[in-house]
Structure 1
Amino acid sequence: MRADIQAPPSSAPRRKIIHGGFLVLLAVTLLAAILVAGKYGAAHALETAIGALGFIAVLLPKVGAGLFLAASIPLLLPRERVAALIGQESGWRGLALAAAAGALLPGGPGMTFPLAAALFAAGADLGAVLALVTGWSLLSLNRTLIWELSFLDWHLVALRIALCLPAPLAVGLVARALIARRR
């Protein structure tokens, strides 16, 4: 290398492949397997492990798709547009939009949480992200139509929705107030 050309500085510290949290989770899992094997026998512990691995095999593609979507959103959406719609200065309208998007969002946490993180990375503020997640968890249209209205009287479902309706806005406002107070 020539003396007048410098090597580029390293951009970021290297990440550990095996993190301490993974080791703790592995230790707890192995302890649980030993306890199950001791109480119910090794065959039952092996059957349980195979069932868990099958569940992971079914879940992994969904989580992978959610993470791919989450990684793509900040690259595809203009940061200024996201910030204008659900950013710090979007006010009540931004919180209501995020809560409504959460209520309309189908899917489970494997899609919702990566999407919320992606919107945060794309310019949404924490209040709007929390309003989205709260709207998804409390006001999910998918759950309401498929499960609640199938088994419960519509009056009870309407009462539950009416009681939960202000929650995403309240959570978003509290988050924004705490962040403003912290600054």
Structure 2
Amino acid sequence: MTDKRTAPRYLLIFLFILTLALVAPAAAQDAGPKAVQPGETVFVGSEPLVLDIINLRNPDTFNPVTELRRYREDNPAKQIIRVIGVPNDGYFKISDQALGGKYGRYYAYSKKDGLVEGRTIIFAPAATTTAPPTETTAATEIPTEAETPPTEAGATPTRTQAPLPGLIAVAAVGICGLLTATGRR
């Protein structure tokens, strides 16, 4: 005679393995800052990147990098175009909004050492996927003016973030708990 509890146990084991499969990628996300080497190109998109720019420090003094500076024509003897403050060079967050569209070569600067020679980083825009153009027939289209809701001057649209895979894992754990509770009854 077979045990009537065998099927629910296998289901519980299957759901547990499924939960682990969903939790592992979520746990691996944002594992830590990305170490950046001098001269490396970093692709920056709308999502913030966490960088470890300790390798841009002066190798003799090892004083922390306090600013990243962009110069006109990539020449430190010319005018500074943009300065990005670096509060912690071991955990530095950057996004396309922080760059303000000023991509290119940035030079490491330390308040104690000044401009750190030969220690640069190149920021480039991340590739974005665009939808292929759709073909439309001009005979069926009628141009209309769509009214846009009035916005305040200087207002920025709010950003939304997709739910994390961890939420799916938590839901799977909850389902496992419910199945375990109903299987005991």
Shorter-chain TM-score range:
under 0.3
TM-score by length of 1: 0.20
Could you say which structure has the larger radius of gyration?
2
Higher normalized helix content (fraction of residues): 1
TM-score by length of 2: 0.20
Higher normalized strand content (fraction of residues): 2
Which gives a bigger RCO, structure 1 or 2 (Cα 8 Å, sep 6+)? 2
